[in-house]
């Protein structure tokens, strides 16, 4: 039988970690079991071997092994050593969830993620504010304290620096959420939107309805950062389908709204102002002016008898990310994205 040293090449014991070393030893054994690297009846290092191999005091290893024995995870066979006695362990994952900001859509992802994990995990939520320096402290200060890092990599400055920081995380501990890492040829798990192609495919599905409008207008904010791939996808769709088009960054009280135009709006403040401007000019949404809003909410189902939306399934994203952890899968999964047609179009 292989020893722990052979099956689990090195303990992740770190002098700088705040976690006591005996708990680090326990984590190493339980993580190796959860990852299938240690199986029932496998022999592990003796107390002396573990102490010598990883420069730990004998008392530290003894304390860790005593706790593992108390939990029934290992057993000592006199004259032979320590063996794995059970692998059906219930050990909570420690997860660091890093969002770029808090929003209604992020809350949907978070709630679904937490609900799917249930009692199997302890999740800490932190906000990196799309700031590489903030991300640096969040990752480097916690690199050894979590089983998984689930990160939304929305960065608009110092992108290479942010990506390099993320790649310091061991790939088996990394799950990318919402936006995939661009041009990174490395294996890691991800549940992502394809911002450039999602908008094209969604608008294509509603092409018959959109063709009654002579011009499409994308409202892509500057004050709040959103993926530039949305703009690229919008332009590609318009070019492929011969739509006159325009990109603006905000809808103000004096923004001219014309009959025969359809608006694709990301920010809800712009959606509200667009509706107000339509009302002031007596333009009827769905007849004179088309409205498509980004991201589904319950309010949009009833506002103006229904606002058409293009949206990813935020609850599904959170659920899928949690299942990658629970099922120990390292896959890249594109999250569903659809157009929901309602009366505003």
Reported confidence tier of residue 14, pLDDT bands at 50, 70, 90: confident
Let me know whether 167 and 248 are in one domain.
no
In this structure, the number of other CB atoms found within 10 A of the CB of residue 47 comes to 18
State mean pLDDT over 269-285: 97
Task: Kindly report, residue by residue over 123-161, the tens digit of the pLDDT.
Answer: 999 999 999 999 999 999 988 788 899 999 999 999 999
Q: Considering the entire predicted model, what is its pTM?
A: 0.75
Last residue of a domain, one of 84, 115, 150: 84
Let me know whether 200 and 305 are in one domain.
yes
Number of domains in the chain: 3
Task: Kindly report, residue by residue over 281-334, the tens digit of the pLDDT.
Answer: 999 999 999 999 999 998 999 999 999 999 999 999 999 999 999 888 999 999
CA–CA dist 77, 75 (Å, integer):
7
**253 in Cβ contact with 279 (< 8 Å):** no
Domain membership of residue 318 (yes or no) is: yes
Task: Kindly report, residue by residue over 43-102, the tens digit of the pLDDT.
Answer: 999 999 999 988 899 999 999 999 898 888 899 998 899 999 988 876 678 899 999 999
Let me know whether 148 and 231 are in one domain.
no
CA–CA dist 19, 154 (Å, integer):
30
Last residue of a domain, one of 84, 110, 137: 84
Last residue of a domain, one of 84, 114, 144: 84
Domain membership of residue 179 (yes or no) is: yes
Residues of the domain holding 233: 196-312
Token digits of residue 58? 């004998």
Task: Kindly report, residue by residue over 237-249, the tens digit of the pLDDT.
Answer: 999 999 999 999 9
Unique residue bearing structure tokens 């935020």? 314
Is the pLDDT at 1 greater than 90, yes or no? Answer: no
Domain harbouring 277, CATH code = 3.40.50.2300
Let me know whether 79 and 97 are in one domain.
no
- Antiparallel, parallel or unpaired: β 74-77 and 81-84: antiparallel
**186 in Cβ contact with 173 (< 8 Å):** no
Q: List the beta strands (DSSP E) in the chain.
A: 43-44, 74-77, 81-84, 93-99, 121-127, 148-151, 174-179, 189-193, 215-219, 244-248, 261-265, 290-294, 308-312, 332-334, 337-340
In a 3-state reduction of DSSP, which class is residue 166?
Answer: helix
CA–CA dist 35, 139 (Å, integer):
23
DSSP state of 13: -
Let me know whether 120 and 216 are in one domain.
no
Q: Which residues pair with 245 in a beta bridge?
A: 216
CA–CA dist 13, 70 (Å, integer):
22
In a 3-state reduction of DSSP, which class is residue 215?
Answer: strand
Residue 263's pLDDT is 98
Least Cα distance to 72 among 91, 93, 87 occurs for 87
Average pLDDT, the chain: 91
Is the pLDDT at 196 greater than 80, yes or no? Answer: yes
CA–CA dist 293, 283 (Å, integer):
17
Let me know whether 174 and 256 are in one domain.
no
Reported confidence tier of residue 6, pLDDT bands at 50, 70, 90: low
In a 3-state reduction of DSSP, which class is residue 247?
Answer: strand
Domain membership of residue 344 (yes or no) is: no
DSSP state of 289: B
């Amino acid at each position: 039988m292989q020893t722990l040293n052979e099956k689990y090449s090195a303990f992740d014991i770190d002098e700088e970690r705040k976690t006591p070393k005996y708990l680090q030893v326990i984590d190493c054994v339980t993580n190796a079991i959860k990852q299938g690297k240690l199986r029932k009846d496998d022999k592990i290092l003796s107390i002396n071997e573990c102490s010598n191999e990883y420069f730990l005091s004998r008392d530290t290893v003894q304390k860790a092994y005593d706790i593992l024995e108390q939990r029934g995870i290992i057993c000592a066979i006199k004259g032979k050593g320590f063996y794995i006695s059970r692998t059906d362990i219930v050990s909570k994952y420690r997860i660091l969830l890093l969002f770029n900001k808090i929003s209604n859509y992020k809350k949907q992802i978070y709630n679904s993620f937490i609900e799917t994990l249930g009692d199997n995990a302890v999740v800490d939520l932190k906000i990196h504010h799309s700031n590489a320096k903030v991300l640096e402290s969040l990752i480097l200060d916690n690199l050894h304290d979590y089983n998984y890092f689930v990160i939304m990599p929305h960065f608009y400055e110092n992108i290479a620096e942010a990506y390099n920081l993320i790649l310091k995380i061991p790939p088996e501990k990394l799950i990318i959420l919402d936006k995939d890492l661009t041009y990174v040829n490395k294996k890691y798990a991800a549940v992502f939107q394809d911002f450039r192609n999602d908008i094209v495919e969604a608008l294509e599905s509603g092409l018959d309805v959109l063709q009654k409008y002579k011009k499409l207008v994308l409202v892509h904010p500057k004050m709040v950062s959103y993926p530039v791939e949305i703009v690229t996808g919008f332009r590609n769709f318009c070019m492929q389908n011969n739509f006159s088009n325009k990109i603006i960054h905000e809808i103000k009280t004096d923004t001219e709204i014309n009959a025969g135009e359809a608006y694709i709006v990301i920010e809800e403040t712009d959606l509200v102002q667009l509706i107000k401007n339509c009302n002031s000019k007596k333009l009827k949404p769905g007849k004179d002016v088309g409205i498509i809003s980004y991201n589904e909410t319950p309010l949009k189902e009833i506002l103006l008898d229904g606002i058409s939306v293009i949206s990813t399934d935020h609850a599904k994203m959170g659920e899928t990310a949690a299942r990658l952890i629970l099922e120990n899968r390292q896959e890249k999964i594109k999250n569903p994205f659809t157009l929901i047609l309602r009366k505003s179009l």
